[in-house]
Amino acid sequence: MKKALLYIISSIVGETDKVEIEEKEQDGILDFTIKVAKADMGRVIGKNGKVIRAIRNVIKINAIKQNKKINISLLEN
């Protein structure tokens, strides 16, 4: 899932070298923390949060297949 998330985020942002994704698993919940450049925050969030919501939904499909829950948070790098 981390590879897919990295691919999606890297395709959206302008500064791909500043993309960092941390993955932690706790009690069956995968917690992804995405860090992107300040200039790319708007691209990743999208208008009214539509882009980040779509990313969460795509990754959630894979998580459901593995019987896991996910949490994706976005931080400024």
Burial class of residue 21 (count of CB atoms within 10 Å of its CB; 0-12, 13-18, 19+): middle
* Tally of domains within the chain: 1
Task: Give me the residues paired with residue 25 across strands.
Answer: 30
pLDDT cut 70: percent of the chain above it? 100
What is the domain-level CATH number for residue 39? 3.30.300.20
Domain around 10: 2-76
- CB-based contact 44:5 (threshold 8 Å): no
Structure confidence by residue, pLDDT tens digits, 15-44: 999 999 999 998 889 999 999 999 999 999
pTM: 0.86
